[in-house]
Amino acid sequence: EVQLVESGGGLVQAGGSLRLSCAASGFTFDDYAIGWFRQAPGKEREGVSCISRGDGSTYYADSVKGRFTISSDNAKNTVYLQMNSLKPEDTAVYYCGAEFYPVVPGELDHDEYDAWGQGTQVTVSS
């Protein structure tokens, strides 16, 4: 069974930085992508960034381009999301998800993801 565990959330002032981690386990295949999503109260889950396990290709939502960086350490089965220049509107619960056998590169539609972590809260104060 695939399991994803997020960590690294917290409270930070606007302009600050946080690094989220997503530790993955239980994969018996290599064809998958890991995505970061976020959900603010009363809003739909929004795709932020994703990375292909196969070739390491990365993709970002326009709202975070130039501020967030996704990376992976395959030896540790961990995906990171470095978040810089944080804004109050980045406040949300952040989830990592796994898309098995991805078809469309850079998929950020949460409906296409097959497994989820429990989420970690990120709060950015103004």
Mean pLDDT of the chain: 96
pLDDT at 124: 98
Predicted confidence (pLDDT) per residue in 19-53, tens digit = 999 999 999 989 999 999 999 999 999 999 999 99
Q: Tokens 């396990």 appear where?
A: 53
Q: How confident is the model at residue 23, as a pLDDT?
A: 98
Banded model confidence at residue 54, pLDDT cuts 50, 70, 90 = confident
What pLDDT is recorded for position 60?
A: 97
Is the torsion defined by CA of 124, 57, 95, 43 positive or negative?
positive
Average of per-residue pLDDT across 90-110: 95
Q: Rounded to an integer, what distance in angstroms lies between the CA atom of residue 106 and that of residue 126?
A: 31
Q: Which residues of 98-108 are buried (b: 16+ CB within 10 A; e: fewer)?
A: bbeebeeebbb
